[in-house]
Every structure is written in structure tokens, then in C-alpha cells.
Amino acid sequence: MADQSQHKAVQTTGHAWDGDLQEFNNPLPRWWLWTFYATVVFAIVYWILYPAWPVGKTFTKGLATTTFVDADGKEVTTHWNTRAEFIRDMQSGEEALKQKAYLEKVAGASYEEILNDPDMMAFTQSLAKVLFADNCAACHGLGGTPAEVGNFPNLRDDAWLWGGSIERIEQTIRKGRLGYMPSFGKVLSDEDIEALANYVLSLSGHDVDKGLMARGDSLFHSEQAGCYYCHTNSGKGLYSQGSANLTDQVWTVADVNGAPTLAEKIERVKSVIRNGVQRRMPAWEGRLSDEEIKLLTVYVHGLGGGQ
Amino acid sequence: MAESGDTQLYAPRQAIFPRSVKGRFRRLKWGVLALAYGVYFLLPWLRWERESGPDQAVLFDLVGRKFYIFDLVVYPQDIFWLAGLLMIFAYLLFFVTGIAGRVFCGYFCFQTLWTDVFLFIERLIQGERPARIRLSKQPMNAEKAVKLGLTHLLWLLVAFLTGLTFVLYWGNAPQLVAEFFTGQAPFAAYATTVFLTATTYVMAGIAREQVCTYMCPYARFQSVMFDRDTLIVSYDRARGEGSAGRAKLGRDLKTREQRQAAGVGDCIDCGYCVQVCPTGIDIRNGLQIQCISCALCIDACDTIMDSLGWERGLVGYSSQRVEDGGKRARLLRPKVLGYAAVLLVAVGLLVWSVGNQAPYDLAVSQVRQPLFTRLSDGRIENAYQLKVNNKTGHALGLTFSIEGLPDAELDMGRFRHIVLRPEQRLRLSARIKARPKVLDGRTYPVTIVATPDAGSGLPPVRHATVFYVPKG
């Protein structure tokens, strides 16, 4: 290390404590002092431009501003803040404009063109996922499967009450749907309902009592119960009525698959026959734009594999 | 002891006017400088043929999220290569510094290289050290204004070229230069150029050794890697000082014999080694924190010894062990061997990883909301999100299939077979439908396979995932 004897002696600050305790002086470079003053100047400029000092219940707002468009379409100019910057970025930032341009392309394309184009599909999926979460997930669940079977149809499975074609899905979203099945609790005896429930479960391959099944069969196709009006002779249902297909394994009102025993399954079907069904999907036309409905149509079509 | 009256808590920078020197280390350093400048300034202009993508050999495309480095294309998911590279640089620094001291500072650091160039310009315009000292002391007049102005102008020019060249690595160089001078380049290009012009001008022109002494963390932590065997630039005190100290070549002290008889050492106190030092220290005072191991003092002293006809090495590379009377520095010591081993492993892993970059890749994530769906025919369906990434420079046709789940069906809608454009990334939805024997609430392994079209010569890529069966 440096041989101090050849240098001038080590400088001290000149202070002395307790008689002989002294402090070495290693002078800081002068420019270092100037950089400190520069940070002070920077801070003052920052105070002038940006929100800085609390003053009572408010604060100094600074001269810098951010302009964005609020929910009513009015242009708003506020003091600079990251929240407004974020809104502005989402409205007119570089990426937002790119997204808008691509959305116009998708909006101008036919359903067939979108379904055949992997790029437009990927774009639709990611944009519609947000729309679905905002507007549809409250009932149908975030992934398209409701929390429980009963009130809202599962959009993930391949059973479509109102049809799974693009046209019918769009109609469902636009105009809404009214799912209705009359209650038979006062019309039919408990034994009749028991027989009908057994027949209905036999349609989807459940091993039920043969006698009750036969009686249910004739009731199903009789004018007294009239089930076949909507569910058709074969029990496969009608898209025009939104009547369920009773022959498949998907249950949208009675949670048959979730019942542990056959007796419980029968009970659950009986409950639906006795009480009927009243379900309503609101119309989204007017609430959502045409482009948004288009994106959601493709998205829902994709959720269940489509038809 | 200083009086409190003249105690300076802040020291102004002492201007340093390094004298030029010729010698083997100076030649080596000019060589390193020429190589570094050649690579840095010319690389953005090197064109390169690719199947797709830009025709620039090295291009960091931030917008497209791709780095083009000759025939290698680096994607964001290759970020760990950067981690590997930084680790290699770190270990290389430890390794080299352990053996030979601050080699990086003295020979390769851009602060040293750019300062060298700025000093060269300064000498070109203002002359050798005495002329520059005289110029700095004389009052401002036309001569001083012209010389200083010209120096700073040339410094700014080099600084500007440095900043502009850096920007060229992030865009198509010829196009970017044309845009730059017609006011059409992106704001970031101007901002970066102005910033780097300013920092280059300030650091290499004005701050110089202050950067190494006060700002640079590497300069400080390299000292920690020194040990007794590390090579250091040092002054042979025993030879230089003799028993009666150093002395100039005076009357009766001209020859070595005369000097030795008088007990005077070989150092003729010419001060050349101090004059050439870019950090303004006297190497004869021993190893100092300011020393960047540039070795110019060795060249200076060798020049003097040569002219006197005495042997070289009064100032030279040495080590603490040698200075303490030991023999030559040990090279094979545990620290050096350890760093070498780690370095080899890291380089090996990086080369292997880069060499085995997949031409395209497939990532699969299972949809977890919902975990499964019961279909109308009683089968169970699981959904998946697929991400495919074509890293090749040509169109790539892929067909998807599954393995490992008997009687299962893969449904990808209309995209069971897709054709990816060159360097295209794409997200796809997939669903697997199966009829489990028992509903047992367990997961079963399944593999999704992407098979390139026949004739592409590429192997299929597999991605393992699971199929969830609900409890019945």
C-alpha cells in the first residue's frame, strides 16, 4: 500500500476530542458535491411538474397533465397520475390502437372466416374471455361452467338447449331466452310423477323399475301430461322450445349426475316435474355492441365445441 | 498536521495530462482498441442472409421480441441464456482478476478504451504533455479557444458516433440512420443517442479517472479478488532504491557501477512512469486503489532502461509473494482451479443449450376452470391451452395427436392441422374426450404430440400433461 512517508502527512479535519482523538480528512471530490446539488434541483423540478406536497387535505398537483376519455365519452384532463396514465394508455396507447385495428378486422370478417383463421380465433378468445368474465360469468361461471347444476346451463358441455350453431348462439345472446316448463305438481298425482321420473331416467340408460317405466312411457306420450309436446316423442327435446334432451348424460336442471343413489336421482327428477322450470337469460342487444356480441358468440361456440 | 483553517472537505479534481509512450503494452492496448472499435462500430452494418427476418447480422428487435445474432434467433423464453452469459462474464472476471489483477480495467474496459481515444484526440490537437500543461495554464486567447474548441468538438463527434452506433443494434442500421437524420426515427432512438453522447463525452472527456476511482463498483470489488499470487504492476523497490534511495543521473552517478558504489538504486527518478499514468499516481509508492493495471508505466520505464542499456523490469508485473521475497507467483492454486472449473461448466452448459435450441416448441397448460366437463354421451372432457412457437424461418405445418390415454379423442376444432407462418406464435384450444372405466377422482398422464408435416425433416415434439377424471 501507499507509503505515506513519501507523501505529505495524512490530513485531519483539525478537530480534536478528548485531547488527542482526531479525524482523518479524505476529501470528497468536488463534483460529487455538485451531483448532490443537481439532485436537489431535480427534486424541485419534480415538485413543480408532478403531485408532490401534502397541503392540508389536498396536495400540490403539479403542472403536468394527463388527458383521457371518461365513461361518458367526455374528454377529461387531470393532474398527472398513474391511474389516468393507465386509462389513457388503454384508450390511445400504441398497443390499444393495434388492438382496435385488429378488432375492426375481426368485426368485418364473417363468422366462417373467423372460425377458419387461427390468428383471429386466438385474438377473439383472449378478448372475449374478458367480456365473458364481465358480463356472463356471474351466472355461467368464469370458465363457462356454473358453480352448481340447476339455474344456469353449463356452456362447456356439448348439449345445447337452444342450439349450438353460430346463428342460434348469436340469437340467444342478442334476444335472450325464456326457459319454461310448467309445474305438474297439481296436475299429476305423486304416483304419476314417480312413474314419469322413472321413465325419464330410463331414457338415459338408468336401470329403473320396469313397471313404473312402462306407465311413465304412456304418460309421457299422453295428452294428460303432454311431455312429448316439447321434449318430442323420442325425448330428445327441441331447440325452438329450449326443451332439454332427456336421452343424454347431461342434466341442466336436476343434478342427476351428482346424486349418489338411484332413489335420489328419481327424487331430483320428480322435483323438477312437480315444480316446473322458469329460467331467463336477459337480452344483450343494446347492452353490448355488435362487435362484442360477435366476439362472445364465437367464444361461447368454442366453449362447448360448437355445432 | 493541517490547520483547521486550510482543511478542504471537498477536493477539486487535479487535471492529469498523461504523456504518450511506446512499448509492447501500448501496442497490445492499441490492438485491443482497434479490435473493439472495429467490432462495435461495424457490426450493425454487417448484412446476413436469413430465410425470414431482417438481413442484419446482429439485431435486437424489442418490438418483435426477438434477438437476431447471426444464425441464432433468441426468444423471450431463452432469457436464461442471458443469465448464463452474465454468470460466465462474472466468473471470467473472477478468474482473470485472481490470476492477473485488473486486466479488465487496464485493457478491455470501455472507460479505458474511450479515454484512450479521447486522449489521442487531445494530443493530436493540443500536443504532448508539456504543451497541454502550458495551454491549460495560459490565459484564454485565440489559440487556446481554437485548440480547446476543436478538441471538444472532436470528442463530441466520437461520443455522438458511439451513441448512434449503440442505437443501430436495435433497428435496421441503414434505414435507422436515414430516419435519424430526416427526423423520422423513434423518440427512443434520439433519446438514447443524446444520453449516450452526453455520458461518453462526460465520462471519457471530463471525468476520466474519477469514474474508476469514485464511481465504478467493479474497480473496488476486484481488489477483493487479489491474493498474494495475483499479478500486479509494481516497482522493484530493492533494485530502484538501493540502500541510499533513488537519484537522478548526476555527475559521478552516471554508470551503474558508480551508482552501486554510492548505494544508489537503478531508478533515475526521471518521472516518466508518473507522467504516462492516466490516473495520475506514482507506481513507486506501491499498489494503489487508483491503479487500473494499464501497464503504461512498465512501457515508460522499459524505454528508459533500454536507452541506458540497463536491464528491463524495474517497473513490471510482479506479485505480493515475489515482493515478499518469494519465487514466482503460483498459477495452479485452488481458487484459480475452482473458477476455471465453474467457468468450463457454465460455458459448456450454455453452448449445449444454445446448440440444442428446438426449431419449434409446444407448451400445454390444462384448463382448470372447470377441471372437467361431462359430455352428453357420458364421456369426460378436459380442456387445454396450447401455445406453439415456430422458430424456423419457413412455414411449418403441424398435426396434433395424443398418446398414453386409450380410446381418448383429441378435439381441436378446425385446427387439428395448422400451418404456422415463419416465426409465428399461436395459442390454440384443445380438448381431450375419454370414457374412463371408473370415475375415481384421479389424474392420468397423457401426452400431446405435435408432428411436423412429412418432408420438413423436423422431429415431433411432445408435451406431457394430465387428464383429470372426476369422482363418480
DSSP string, B1-50: ---GGG--SEEPPPP--PPP--SHHHHHHHHHHHHHHHHHHHGGG-B---
Residues B214 and B290 in one domain: no
Contact of B46 with B57, CB cutoff 8 Å? yes
Mean pLDDT over all residues of chain B? 93
Q: How far is CA B465 from CA B367, B402, B436, B462, in A?
A: 11, 10, 17, 10
| B394 Cβ neighbours under 8 A, 6+ residues apart | B51, B52, B422
How many angstroms separate the Cα of B386 from the Cα of each of B38, B361, B404, B415, B454? 45, 10, 18, 11, 22
Question: Does A9 contact B at CB distance below 8 Å?
Answer: yes
SS3 B428: strand
Q: How far is B282 from chain A (nearest CA, A)?
A: 9
Distance from CA of A103 to the nearest CA of B (A): 17
Give the pLDDT confidence score for residue A166 in this predicted structure: 95
A169 and A292 share a domain? Answer: yes
- Chain-centroid distance of CA A134 in Å reads 5
Q: Which of B240, B226, B319, B238 is nearest to B273 (CA)?
A: B240
Residue B37 vs residue B218, higher pLDDT: B37
Residues of B in Cβ contact (< 8 Å) with A7:
285
Verify whether the Cβ–Cβ distance B370 to A13 is below 8 Å: no
Kindly list the distances between the CA atom of residue B163 and the CA atoms of A303, B124, B212, B330, in Å, as whole numbers in the listed order. Answer: 52, 23, 21, 43
Candidates B211, B189, B110, B199; CA nearest to B156 is B199
**Does residue B147 contact residue B134 with C-beta atoms inside 8 Å?**
no
Taking the CA of residue B199 and the nearest CA in chain A, the distance in Å comes to 14
Decide if pLDDT at B279 tops 70: yes
Q: Cell 412455414 belongs to which residue?
A: B395
- Residues B98, B185: one domain? yes
Is the pLDDT confidence value at B403 over 90? yes
Mean pLDDT within B414-438: 92
Supply the CATH number for residue B406's domain: 2.60.40.10
Question: By the CB < 8 Å criterion, does B376 face chain A?
Answer: yes
Q: Please report whether residue A68 resides in a domain.
A: yes
d(CA B252, CA B271): 20
Question: What is residue B269's predicted lDDT score, i.e. its pLDDT?
Answer: 94
Cα(A179)–Cα(A185) distance, rounded to whole angstroms? 18
CB B316 within 8 A of CB B101: no
Cα of A116 to nearest chain B Cα, Å: 7
Count of domains forming chain A: 3
Q: Cβ contacts (< 8 Å) between B210 and chain A: which residues? A: 29, 31
In a shared domain, residues B190 and B248: no
Q: Which residues contact B466 (CB under 8 A, 6 or more apart)?
A: B366, B443, B444, B445, B446
Burial class for B448, CB neighbours closer than 10 Å (0-12, 13-18, 19+): buried
The span from the CA of A153 to the CA of A141, in Å, is 10
Q: Is B343 inside a domain boundary?
A: no
Which pLDDT band holds residue A3 (cuts at 50, 70, 90)? very low
Q: Is the pLDDT of residue A4 over 60?
A: no
Higher pLDDT, residue B394 or A294:
A294
Residues of A with CB below 8 A from B279's CB? none
| CA–CA distance, B78 with B354 (Å, rounded to integer) | 9
- Which distant-in-sequence residues (6+ apart) come within 8 Å of A192 by Cβ? A215, A219, A225
* Domain closes at, from B323, B352, B383: B323
pLDDT digits (tens, 9 = 90+) for A223-277: 999 999 999 999 999 999 999 999 999 999 999 998 999 999 999 999 999 999 9
Determine which of A5, A7, A25, A126 to mutate to test the interface with B (most B C-beta atoms within 10 Å). Answer: A25
**Is A101 a domain residue?**
yes
Q: What is the dihedral of CA A293, A294, A296, A299, to 10 degrees?
A: 170
Question: For the segment B290-329, what is each residue's pLDDT rounded down to a tens digit?
Answer: 999 999 999 999 999 999 999 999 999 999 888 888 777 7
H-assigned helices in B228-295: 237-241, 256-262, 272-275
Tell me, what's the pLDDT at B6? Answer: 67
**Which chain B residues have a beta carbon less than 8 Å from that of A3?**
285-286
CB contact under 8 A, B7 and A257: no
B7 near A CB under 8 A: yes
- How high is the pLDDT of residue B326? 77
**Strand partners for B448:** B402, B463
What range does the domain containing B455 cover? 360-468
Q: Do A118 and B426 touch (CB under 8 A)?
A: yes
Residues in chain B closer than 8 A to A30 (CB atoms): 10-13
Q: Does A14 touch chain B (CB under 8 A)?
A: yes
**From CA A52, how far away is CA B431, in angstroms rounded?**
53
Domain that holds residue A69: 61-92
Q: How far is B341 from chain A (nearest CA, A)?
A: 32
Binning pLDDT at 50, 70 and 90, where does residue A304 land? confident
Strands A28-29 and B10-11: parallel
Residues A76 and A120 in one domain: no
The amino acid present at B200, given as its one-letter code, is T
Contacts of B381 in chain A (CB under 8 A): 156-157
Whether residues B268 and B218 share a domain: the answer is no
Structural domain total, chain B: 3
Q: Pick from A32, A33, A118: which is nearest to B428 by CB?
A: A118
* Percentage of residues in chain B having pLDDT higher than 70: 99
Looking at chain B, which residue has its C-alpha nearest residue A115?
B414
Q: Are residues A306 and A271 in the same domain?
A: no
* Residue keyed to cell 403441424: B398
Given A72, A92, A112, the domain boundary residue is A92
- A225 burial (CB, 10 Å; 0-12 / 13-18 / 19+) is buried
Q: Quick one: B242 and B367 in the same domain?
A: no
> Measured between beta carbons, which residues in chain B are less than 8 angstroms from residue A14?
1-5, 7
B426 with B454, same domain? yes
Q: Do residues B203 and B247 share a domain?
A: no
Q: Measured between CB atoms, does B283 come within 8 Å of chain A?
A: no
DSSP summary character for residue A4: G
Residue of A156, A249, A305 with shortest CB distance to B377: A249
Site from B8, B10, B389 to mutate, A interface, most A CB atoms within 10 angstroms: B10
Query: Residue B250 has which C-alpha cell?
Result: 548526476
Interfacial A residues in 166-195 facing B (CB < 8 Å): none
Whether the complex's predicted ipTM is more than 0.85 is answered with no
pLDDT at A1 over 60: no
Q: Is residue A297 part of a domain?
A: yes
Tell me if B393 is assigned to some domain.
yes
Q: Note whether B427 contacts A: Cβ–Cβ < 8 A.
A: yes
Of B9, B414, B427, the CB nearest to A25: B9
CB contact under 8 A, A305 and B413: yes
Residue A81's Cα: distance from chain center in Å?
A: 28
Q: Are residues B287 and B251 in the same domain?
A: yes
Q: Do A306 and B1 touch (CB under 8 A)?
A: no
| A209-222 pLDDT tens trace | 999 999 999 999 99
Q: Does residue B179 sit in the same domain as residue B317?
A: no
Q: Are residues A274 and A192 in the same domain?
A: yes
Q: What pLDDT score was predicted for residue A2?
A: 41
CB < 8 Å to B426, chain A: 118-119, 122
Contact B7 A13 (CB under 8 A): yes
* Interface size between A and B, measured as CB pairs under 8 A: 114
B1 — pLDDT class (breaks 50, 70, 90): very low
Mean pLDDT of chain A: 92
CA distances from A216 to A118, A269, A295 (A): 49, 13, 44
Q: Are residues A169 and A111 in the same domain?
A: yes
Give the closest residue to B428 by CA, choosing from B439, B442, B417: B417
> Looking at CA atoms only, how far is residue B215 from chain A in angstroms?
10
Peptide bond into B459 cis (omega under 30): no
**Pairwise CA distance, residues A113 & A103, whole Å:** 14
What are the chain B neighbours of A141 within 8 Å (beta carbons)? Answer: 369-370
Higher pLDDT, B96 or B250: B96
Mark yes or no for CB contact A29/B13 under 8 Å: yes
Same domain, A163 and A181: no
Which residue type is seen at B354?
V
Residues of chain B neighbouring A128 (CB-CB closer than 8 A): none
Beta bridge partners of B449: B401, B462
Contacts of B190 (CB under 8 A, 6+ apart): B180
Please state the rounded mean pLDDT for residues B9-18: 90
Tell me if chain B has a CB within 8 Å of the CB of A15: yes
Ramachandran area for residue B175 (φ above 0: left; ψ -120 to 50: alpha; else beta): alpha
B288 touches chain A (CB under 8 A): yes
Q: Does A257 touch chain B (CB under 8 A)?
A: yes
Interface contact B285-A126, CB threshold 8 A: no
- Summarised one tens digit per residue, pLDDT across range B74-106 is 988 888 999 999 999 999 999 999 999 999 999
User: In which band, very low, low, confident or very high, does the pLDDT at A87 lie, cut at 50, 70 and 90?
Assistant: very high
- pLDDT grade, residue B385 (50/70/90)? very high
Amino acid at A277: V
pLDDT score recorded for residue A8? 54
Flag if A125 and B427 touch (Cβ within 8 Å). yes
Q: Are residue B82 and residue B216 in the same domain, yes or no? A: yes
Q: Residue B5 has what pLDDT?
A: 55
Confidence of residue B2 (pLDDT cuts 50, 70, 90): very low
Contact between residue A183 and residue A275 where contact means Cβ atoms under 8 Å apart: yes
Pick among A6, A22, A121 to test the B interface (most B CBs inside 10 A): A121
pLDDT confidence band for A9 (50 / 70 / 90)? low
Query: Do B208 and B237 sit in the same domain of this protein?
Result: no
Residue A191 included in any domain: yes
Q: Tell me, what's the pLDDT at B3?
A: 44
pLDDT of residue A5: 42
Q: Residues A213-222, buried b or exposed e (16+ Cβ, 10 A)?
A: bebbbebbee
Please indicate if any CB of chain A lies within 8 Å of the CB of B257. no
Give the chain A residue whose CA is nearest to the CA of B213: A29
Burial grade of A194 (CB within 10 A; 0-12, 13-18, 19 or more): buried
